[in-house]
Amino acid sequence: MKISLVQDQAIAARMALIVGADNFDRLFRGIQFDEFDGTVLYAYAADEYRAAEIEETFALHISTIAGAILKREIPIVMVLPQKLKQARDV
């Protein structure tokens, strides 16, 4: 299921509350919570370094927050670099 713009922004806003302004600007700027396929929530960060740090540090928080917003259990959060989304959309 594609995640709507409102749901995407709601997840990002709640993450901003948790990580704080400095970390949010450093890591989450430009993030897109794109799709949930039943077990995996796909998110796309600006680059592979941010994607790796977000997935490593905040995957559990994202899973909890997104699960509440989407009203589903989200066992896996996969954060990929934005360039992979562009390649996938082609």
Q: CATH number of the domain that 55 lies in?
A: 3.30.300.180
Domain enclosing residue 69, as ranges: 5-89
Helix (H) or strand (E) holding 40: strand 40-45
In the chain, the number of structural domains is 1
The answer to whether the beta carbons of residues 11 and 33 sit under 8 Å apart is yes
pLDDT tens across 67-82, in order?
Answer: 999 999 999 999 999 9
pTM: 0.89
Give the three-class secondary structure for 35: strand
pLDDT tens across 9-48, in order?
Answer: 999 999 999 999 999 999 999 899 999 998 999 999 999 9
* Residue written as token pair 């749901």: 7
